Amino acid sequence: MEKVLIGPRRYVQGTGVLNNIGKYIAPLGKRVLVAWGPVVSEQFSAIVKKSFEENELVLIPFKFSGECDRGQIGKGVEKAKAEKAEVVVGLGGGKAIDLAKAVAMEIDAKLVTAPTIASNDAPTSAATVYYTEEGNFDGWAIWPRNPDLVLVDTQVIVEAPVRWLISGIGDGLATWFEAEAAYKGRRVTLAGGVTTQAALTLARLCYDTLMDYGIDAVRDCAEHVVTPAVDRVIEANTLLSGIGFESAGLAAAHAVGNGLTGFEECKPYSHGEKVAFGVATQLCLDEDIEPDERLAVFDFMVEVGLPVTLEELGLGDISPEALKSFAETLCEPEQITHNHVFTVTPLDMYGAMVAADKLGRSCKALAE
Ligand SMILES: [Zn+2]
């Protein structure tokens, strides 16, 4: 099986880069559809307009509902076609970005992602996660190309609530463990081949960066300042985690994280917060994980404020029967759970979730 690595064509990260968004987009095309949710369009339209004017770009604003569902994507495609957009920009969180990817691919336009939060690794990847109008996980698409430009303004990111950076740490923390799992089994990644040394190394760098700088970054981001720790963690959450999950592989942590979107109780929680419990579960599922490392990761998650118990995701009262039936769905044949080199049965998965919850509770109690 051949090795495949994919990634964005250009990655730009720095303080204030959004003020120059027009300069970065100009080489890609003139007519630019910007997909943003209601809050982001309010917050950033003046900056974007000014920079577009300075660079003689035509702004085609597309305000979507905030949900990346197939209906919203269809509306974006219609508008982009009618206005002859040459470039599609997703400005905002993961949903604006995923929607922009789908629209750009549908009309064969250039694609730009400009995250305003570092809550997940969507900006660099070629994947769109679909949700239903109600916000339930509804599958994903892997597009034939990654963004032409990823524009990450670190000042914008620290001005957002720190919860989003923490969520991105949860998503990024999964990357190495899943990459290692998929690599061991020589599984085919979302990039369409087996893992390169490069992607595996970036996945590891993602993990080391988060463990070394995550706690400092969360503290600094809560004060809304960009420090070297914040800068490194933003890169880990966005670029390293993005290349890692896409070109190095996924496993049980994301199966759990994505699966949790099916629970009404989990609706208020972000992708990264749900994936964090997936990391906790995977660490209790894989016997190759050293107990010391498992404990270090649990303690880290508790310290930065990521959920390590079912209660923290609104599932404190879930019955053993409901958890067992959830474990069964996570072990259906098409699930990424089976990227592990060992067989994962529903009973293994149930046991790992119970063990993770229990260990999470004891780590939390010790931290108090
Ligand atoms: Zn993720």
Q: For 159-180, what is each residue's pLDDT tens digit?
A: 999 999 999 999 999 999 999 9
Whole-number Å distance, alpha carbon 71 to ligand 1 midpoint, is 23
Q: Is the pLDDT of residue 140 over 90?
A: no
Residues 6+ apart with CB under 8 A from 363: 295, 298, 299, 302, 308
Whole-number Å distance, alpha carbon 51 to ligand 1 midpoint, is 31
Tokens representing 126?
């070629």
CA distance 313 to 311: 5
Dihedral sign, Cα of residue 22, residue 118, residue 148, residue 240 = positive
Q: Is the pLDDT of residue 138 over 90?
A: no
Tokens representing 366?
């010790």
Whole-number Å distance, alpha carbon 259 to ligand 1 midpoint, is 12
Whole-number Å distance, alpha carbon 130 to ligand 1 midpoint, is 13
Whole-number Å distance, alpha carbon 273 to ligand 1 midpoint, is 10
Task: Give the pLDDT score at 345.
Answer: 98
Task: Give the pLDDT score at 136.
Answer: 81
Whole-number Å distance, alpha carbon 198 to ligand 1 midpoint, is 20
Whole-number Å distance, alpha carbon 182 to ligand 1 midpoint, is 15
Helix, strand or coil, per DSSP, at residue 308: coil
Lowest mean pLDDT, pick from 131-135, 236-240, 276-280: 131-135
Task: Give the pLDDT score at 137.
Answer: 79
Whole-number Å distance, alpha carbon 120 to ligand 1 midpoint, is 6
Q: By the 8 A CB rule, do 337 and 251 touch?
A: yes
Q: By the 8 A CB rule, do 86 and 112 touch?
A: no
Alpha-carbon Rg for the chain, nearest whole angstrom, is 20
Whole-number Å distance, alpha carbon 161 to ligand 1 midpoint, is 19
Percent share of the chain, pLDDT over 70: 100
pLDDT tens column, 9-35: 999 999 999 999 999 999 999 999 999
Burial environment of residue 107 by CB neighbours within 10 A (0 to 12, 13 to 18, 19 or more):
middle
Q: Hunting for tokens 């149930």 — which residue is that?
A: 350
Dihedral sign, Cα of residue 150, residue 138, residue 140, residue 194 = positive
Q: In terms of pLDDT, which residue wins out, 136 or 224?
A: 224
Percent share of the chain, pLDDT over 90: 96
Average pLDDT over residues 329-355: 97
Average pLDDT over residues 293-311: 98
Q: Is the pLDDT of residue 329 over 90?
A: yes
Q: Is the pLDDT of residue 316 over 90?
A: yes
Q: Mean pLDDT of all residues in the chain?
A: 97
CA distance 147 to 127: 10
Whole-number Å distance, alpha carbon 88 to ligand 1 midpoint, is 22
Q: By the 8 A CB rule, do 359 and 298 touch?
A: yes
Q: Is the pLDDT of residue 134 over 90?
A: no
Which of the 8 DSSP states describes residue 78? Answer: H
Whole-number Å distance, alpha carbon 281 to ligand 1 midpoint, is 15
Residue 160's CB is within 10 A of a number of other CB atoms, namely 18
Across 282-298, b (16+ Cβ under 10 Å) vs e yields bbbbbeeeeeeebeebb
Strand order through the sheet with 31-36:
11-14, 149-153, 110-115, 87-92, 31-36, 58-63
Across 52-74, b (16+ Cβ under 10 Å) vs e yields beebebebbbbbbebbbbeebbe
Whole-number Å distance, alpha carbon 271 to ligand 1 midpoint, is 7
Q: Is the pLDDT of residue 326 over 90?
A: yes
